[in-house]
Amino acid sequence: MIQRILHARHFLACLLAGATGMVLFFRAPFPEDNFFLRVMAMRSDPAFLFFKYSYTLFLYTTPYIAYSILLSGFYIFALKAGRKIRAGQLPPYSDPRTRTQLTLVLGEVHNPRKQTPSETPSWLIIPERGLFTGIAIVGAVGSGKTASCMYPFAEQILAYRAADVDRRIGGLILEVKGDFCGKVQEILARYGRASDYVEIGLESEYRYNPLHNDLDAYALAYNIASLLNNLFGRGKEPFWQQAYTNLVKFIILLHKVAFDYVTLFDVYECAINPDLLESRIKEAERRLIEADSVLLWEEEYLKHPRDLDPFAFRLDKESNRYRAPLTPGLVAVLKITMCSGRRKMPLAGIPFRLKRKHSSKPSKDGSSTIGDASSPNCGPPSLREFPYFSRSLMTISTSSARFVPLRSATTPRPMRISGLVDRCPLFPGSLNAGISAV
C-alpha cells in the first residue's frame, strides 16, 4: 500500500498542496489594507493586481514544492534503498513462422542504467529495415558468439514465412569451418525447407570455378597473385612476382584458347610440372591445326575430285556436305582451284582478305572479288596477312568469289596465316605458293 502511494507521490503532493493552500488562503489572506499596497494601487493598478495574484498562487505552489521534496526523499532513502526489485515477466515470444513482419529478436531490455532485472522487461527487436545495415558480433574465443547469436538469428530469419514460397527468406552463407552450414541445413529441415539447401563445394553436386568468367587471362592471373601475396606475403624482388604472374597468365590463356576451359587445378599442375605443360602446348598446337574444318557442297566436290581426294573429305550427314580438316595445304589447293580456268569456287568462312593487283572488283561490303575465269589474267592475287583465324567453317559454293567469316558453334581461337600466291598455275607463268600457320 505504501509503495503504491509513493509511486503516485506527484499526485499526492498536488492534493496536499491544494489543501494547504486553501487553509493559508483563509488564514493568511492578501493584506490589501496595507498602506504601501494602497499607494501602489492608486499609482499603478496593474502592478497591484500582479502582486495580489502572485501571492495567491504562491499559497499553492510553495506547499507543492515542499511536499514533492519530502515525498521524493522518503521514496529514495527510506523505501527504494532497501527494496528488492522483482523481475517482471516478458511478453509472449512470437513464433517467426507467424510474424506479420520480418523482425529479429536479439534479447531482452531491462534497466538501462544498472545490470539489474526490470519489473517491466521487453524484447530487444531489430525491424526489417535495420537488417539491411549489417550486424557485427564481437567477442573472445569461446564466448559463445555462434551458439548464442548466429544460430538463433539464422533460425528466426529462415523460419520467417517458411511455408510461403513467395515471402520466405533465402541467403548466401560463406564460412571456413563448415559447422554453421551443417546447422543451417538442420534448421531448414526442421521447418520443411530441406530442398532449399544448396551447397557449393568440392565434394558437392554444385561447384564454382573462379576462373570461368569473362575476365581476360591477365586479370585472372593478377587475382591469383594478389591472393598469394595476402596469404604468404609479398616478395622482396618484384621480378619474381611479375614472373609467376606471367606464368599463370600464359597457362590460363593456353587452356582457354585450346580447351575453352581452365581450373585452378590445371594452373597448379602446369606450374609445377614442366612435362605436363609441354604436352598441353603440343595438344593445343594439334587442336589449332586439326580442329578447323572445310565444308563443300557435293556438286562442287565432284567437279574437282582429283585435287580434293588427298585431303580425306567425308560426307557430313548433318549438313549434307563434304567435310575435311583445314590444313595449310588444303587452303593452298583451294586458292589454286579458285584461280584456275574452271568454274569459280567462291569461299566463305575464312576470315582473311584477298588483294588483287589486276581486275579486282570491290563488292558491296568492301571485300575484293576475283574476276571472271575468262579474264585474260587471273592474278596475281596477293595474300598479305590474315590477322584472326577463328574455329569457323570454310564453305565452297557457286556464289561470288568472296571471303566471308562464318562463325561456328565453337569458340573462336586466335591464329595467324600469312603467305603469298604469285600467279595462277593454268596461265603463263609458274606457281609459287607458300602458306604458313602460326
Burial 350-387 (b: 16+ CB within 10 A, else e): bbbebebeeeeeeeeeebbbbbebeeeebbbbebeebe
Of 352, 406, 415, the closest CA to residue 384 belongs to 352
Burial 65-78 (b: 16+ CB within 10 A, else e): eebbeebeeebeee
Q: What share of the chain is helix, strand, coil (3-state, %, to 5)?
A: 45, 10, 45
The pLDDT value given to residue 433: 30
The pLDDT value given to residue 106: 92
Of 148, 149, 167, the closest CA to residue 158 belongs to 167
Q: Is the pTM of this model over 0.75?
A: no
Stated as kind and residue range, the H or E segment containing 232 is: helix 217-232
Stated as kind and residue range, the H or E segment containing 299 is: helix 298-303
Of 168, 199, 206, the closest CA to residue 183 belongs to 199
The pLDDT value given to residue 355: 33
Percentage of residues in the chain having pLDDT higher than 70: 74
CA distance 170 to 65: 60
195: burial class by Cβ within 10 Å (0-12, 13-18, 19+)?
exposed
User: What nine digits make up the cell of 350?
Assistant: 575464312
User: What nine digits make up the cell of 229?
Assistant: 601475396
What 3-state DSSP class applies to 51? helix
CA distance 423 to 414: 29
The answer to whether residue 240 scores a pLDDT higher than 80 is: yes
Region 10-38: what's the mean pLDDT?
Answer: 88
What pLDDT digit, counting tens, does each position of 176-218 carry? 877 898 899 999 999 999 999 998 888 888 888 999 999 999 9
User: What nine digits make up the cell of 197?
Assistant: 539447401
The answer to whether residue 290 scores a pLDDT higher than 90 is: no
Q: What is the CA radius of gyration of the chain?
A: 47
The dihedral built from the CA positions of residue 337, 339, 344 and 346, taken in this order, carries a sign that is positive
Q: Which residue has the higher pLDDT, 347 or 94?
A: 94
Region 300-317: what's the mean pLDDT?
Answer: 81
Of 211, 200, 203, 206, the closest CA to residue 263 belongs to 211
What pLDDT digit, counting tens, does each position of 389-404 carry? 333 333 333 333 333 3
Are the C-beta atoms of 320 and 314 separated by less than 8 Å? no
Q: In whole numbers, what is the pLDDT of the chain averaged over residues?
A: 75
The answer to whether residue 86 scores a pLDDT higher than 50 is: yes
CA distance 131 to 149: 14
Region 110-120: what's the mean pLDDT?
Answer: 82
Phi, psi of 344 (to 5 degrees): -60, 145
Stated as kind and residue range, the H or E segment containing 419 is: strand 417-421
Alpha-helical runs (H) found in 83-127 = none
CA distance 431 to 429: 7
Q: Give the Cβ contact number of residue 123 at 10 Å.
A: 15
The pLDDT value given to residue 12: 87
Percentage of residues in the chain having pLDDT higher than 90: 26
Are the C-beta atoms of 206 and 199 separated by less than 8 Å? yes
CA distance 322 to 343: 19
What pLDDT digit, counting tens, does each position of 241-265 carry? 899 899 999 999 999 988 889 999 9
Q: Which residues make beta-bridge pairs with 123?
A: 108
The answer to whether residue 340 scores a pLDDT higher than 60 is: no
CA distance 385 to 339: 19
The answer to whether residue 126 scores a pLDDT higher than 80 is: yes
- What are the DSSP calls for 297-357, one per residue? -HHHHHHSHHHHGGG--EEETTTTEEEEE--HHHHHHHHHHHHSSSS---EES-----EES
The answer to whether residue 429 scores a pLDDT higher than 90 is: no
| Strongest mean pLDDT among 79-93, 152-166, 228-242 | 152-166
What pLDDT digit, counting tens, does each position of 136-154 carry? 999 999 898 999 999 999 9
Lowest-confidence range among 113-117, 272-276, 289-293? 289-293
The pLDDT value given to residue 80: 58
